[in-house]
């Protein structure tokens, strides 16, 4: 494997991307880029500023004047919005349900993709996880993976993850959110979630984090 390789990991909510991508990056000494966190940070700013989510022009304008940074801190990835740490706030249900309204806008996606390419290309090797990394952001990535899991398992994972982070949510709320994000992520006109033709599919339903990480490392180290 070349030192400055790009590893793309895409898949729907709850497929296990974040945990696995973070682990893979750590094992390889690569930069970890959580692209969903970037869309979430912008969504948080729009909520805080009271921007009307049906006003595409206002959302696009906001994205042009927003500074988003990702900084690794031990086992955690810290997300900074205009220099303020928003790592916890971006995981709220309000952000989670509204992010799709902004992630479907072409200009916003182009700005995000530009920033993601800059971060990835400027690193000495990066693992990027999201929905459109292997298809749009880095179509020439050295390695592409598409993680998936059964709907029930994905809902269960999202529920446990939010509970662990201290958010009070019901399983029904999570189920409705995952269902609606699946539809919106997969059917939006710009950069919809889909498997890149040359991506390796991993069904993580019955796999542990270690197993999925091992499978990816086994492929990239060959
Ligand atoms: O991975 P996540 O659940 O934190 O992502 C939050 C939302 O951001 C997701 O529902 C869709 C959007 N997203 C996107 O459209 N493209 C990406 N590359 C990453 C996330």
If you take atom 7 of ligand 1, which residue's CA is the nearest one? 36
Expressed in angstroms and rounded, the spacing between residue 131 Cα and the centre of ligand 1 is 6
Q: Reply yes or no on whether the pLDDT at 221 is more than 90.
A: no
168-207 pLDDT, tens digit each: 999 999 999 999 999 999 999 999 999 999 999 999 999 9
CB 20 within 8 A of CB 193: no
Closest listed residue to residue 46, CA positions, set 61, 34, 30? 61
What pTM was computed for the model?
A: 0.95
**HSE toward the beta carbon, residue 188, CA cutoff 13 A:** 20
- Which atom number of ligand 1 is nearest to the Cα of residue 188? 15
Ligand 1 centroid distance, CA of 178 (Å): 12
Q: What is the CA(36)–ligand 1 centre distance, in A?
A: 4
Each residue of 137-149: pLDDT tens digit? Answer: 999 999 999 999 9
Domains of the chain, with CATH numbers? 5-206 (3.40.50.300)
pLDDT at 76: 84
Please determine, for residue 4, whether its predicted confidence score (pLDDT) is greater than 80. Answer: no
Cα separation, 139 vs 153, whole angstroms: 29
Query: Which of 221 and 187 is assigned the larger pLDDT?
Result: 187
């Amino acid at each position: 494997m070349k030192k400055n390789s790009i590893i793309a990991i895409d898949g729907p909510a709850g497929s296990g991307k974040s945990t696995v991508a973070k682990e893979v990056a750590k094992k390889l000494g690569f930069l970890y880029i959580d692209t969903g966190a970037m869309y979430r940070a912008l969504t948080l700013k729009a909520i805080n500023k009271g921007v009307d989510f049906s006003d595409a022009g206002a959302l696009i304008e906001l994205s042009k004047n927003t500074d988003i940074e990702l900084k690794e801190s031990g086992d955690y990835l810290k997300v900074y919005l205009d220099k303020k740490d928003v790592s916890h706030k971006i995981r709220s249900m309000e952000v989670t349900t509204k992010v799709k309204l902004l992630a479907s806008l072409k200009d916003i996606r182009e700005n995000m993709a530009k920033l993601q390419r800059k971060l990835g290309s400027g690193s000495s090797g990066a693992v990027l996880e999201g929905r459109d990394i292997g298809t749009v952001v880095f179509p020439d990535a050295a390695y592409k993976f598409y993680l998936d899991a059964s709907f029930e398992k994905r809902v269960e994972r999202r529920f446990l993850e939010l509970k662990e982070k201290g958010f009070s949510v019901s399983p029904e709320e999570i189920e409705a959110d995952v269902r609606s994000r699946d539809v919106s992520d997969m059917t939006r006109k710009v950069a919809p979630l889909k498997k890149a033709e040359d991506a390796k599919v991993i069904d993580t339903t019955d796999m542990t984090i270690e197993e999925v990480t091992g499978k990816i490392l086994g492929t990239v180290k060959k």
